[in-house]
A and B are shown apart, each in its own frame.
Chain A
Amino acid sequence: MLFRSMNARAALAALAMTLGLGLAAPAHAQHGQDPKPAVQTTNPSARNPTADSVTEDALLRQLQGGSHIGGRISIPDYKASILEQPQGRDYRQFREGYLPWIGGIAVLGMILALAAFFFTKGRIRLEHSEESGRKILRFNAFERFTHWLTAMCFIVLAISGLNYIFGKRLLLPLIGADAFSAWAQYAKFAHNYLSWPFMIGLVVMILVWIRDNIPDRTDINWIKQGGGLVGKGGHPPARRFNAGQKMVYWSVALGGLALAASGLVMLFPFSAADINGMQLAQYVHATVGVLLIAVMIAHIYIGSLGMEGAYDAMGSGEVDLAWAKTHHSLWVEEQQAKTASGPQIGRGGKSPAPAE
């Protein structure tokens, strides 16, 4: 039964083919009637065996900015199967066209703005009061350790990161190709390996300080008064962190997480992203990187040269009570209330003075 049906099917197929050929023949003859091709060909059949095959133009048109032209390859490596990825041009345009400008303007612009502020307004002086000389603990040893772990990693990461953009433009002509290459190699290792303690420090820092960095009503007032830097009226009241510090915190938290995420993609090339994903990771990493460097330059300035008395918070951990009352009046009140039953900080017993 089976055999007979197969036989019948084969017969039908043969019939169809005969008919098909019979039908195709006149069609082909008609095709031959077409006007002669423009070029003189010696190809006797005048037929293109690869007429139906894909062409580069068609494939490039299909792309329209996304993905890449790829196919099958006998090598067990996805990357090798990419025939063309025109997005490489966008990557080049970003890295050599936009990025040096974004980075240059962000970093130099911030330095110039801070210099202008320093030379017109000078340092923010410590306002002395009767409480000068007394100390209050602002950051404990663990907080300071986390801060400096992250900070030192960040400085190395920033310098080695900027080296990828500006090294060949600024340093290479000065020290020569061999010396620059050796430096860039070490800078790359430093960038790749110090990213780990940076990420650990970042996550710990985010967790330790998030409670004191939730925006609240005092921040609105603080911003309205320009943080006491701009305009008159002294320093507005603030809790442990004022609105400016909260902005630094959230820049580091969000920027740092973006850097960590895009950096991890780059630390494990092609394990989480394809070629376009790798390019995107670089766009994010480089842009956020230079912007965060600019923010950190401002942070370093205000924490050292820009404000008298501020460095102690991260140095010894203990700040002058007068400074604390000026800049973080609400926080001092809270701390003093906490220790009301224990040893008193500052002028214990008395109700805290109103914000001066």
Chain B
Amino acid sequence: MNQPNKRLRTKASSLGWTAAIVLFLIIYSVIQSQRNQTNDQSVLNSEESRAQNVLDPLKEASHQSNTAKDEGAQQSDLGQQKEPNVSKSKSYPVASSPVSKKQTPANSNRPPPLNSSQRSTTAKTKPELGQLRDLGGKVWESAAGLKYGPGSREKHRLLHIMRHAEDQPNRPGKHGVFAGEGERKKVLAVIDEAYLKALKGGKKVERKKEGNRIVYTIDMDRRIGFVGGQVGNKQGKPSAYKIRLVLEGTNVITAFPL
């Protein structure tokens, strides 16, 4: 009597296991397909969102630099600029996908190669003049392609340039001061604009080359600041309409209004 009952129980148990495994496989495949769809969408949108994520914190850093009056404060401001790099990888949707740890083009941190239609979409979101992106090694590149790296007595060219965001009335000679209420983004935007104008050339651009240095003097056709320093203050802070850019290749050495 016990033998047939035992067989029946074993058959029922194995049927139950089979049904459970089939059900599990169906649920798993449905979840997988949904995840793949989400990933494809994320990859297509990632280029735009990534660029925005990188640049937004820089806007904040730029705003913070307005309040940085002394060199020490400016140093810490430069440090804050590095945060976007960290947040960039955090906010990149593909990287957070739990589907697989294996690094493939579809789920790695690296953006996928762009086809022609995606390139045109990216071109629409190119950064505004004055925005910076981190190239590593404390070098920052502006939207126009100018590079700001370590150097000068301020230890970084961005800090050196920002000396010209406010007057130094006791400085001997002239001291060009950018308009823009000391806001770094506005200062860098004018420099970017001047550089693009310099590259186009024309009557309003003077170019002097000496060794590896190029000095551009660009007439901006509008007031872009004033002349301060001892001489400028004696003359009543006359308006400045020109910018002088001193470059080594695309590396900025200095820039100031004239």
Chain A complexes with chain B? no
List chain B positions with a Cβ less than 8 A from chain A: none
List chain A positions with a Cβ less than 8 A from chain B: none
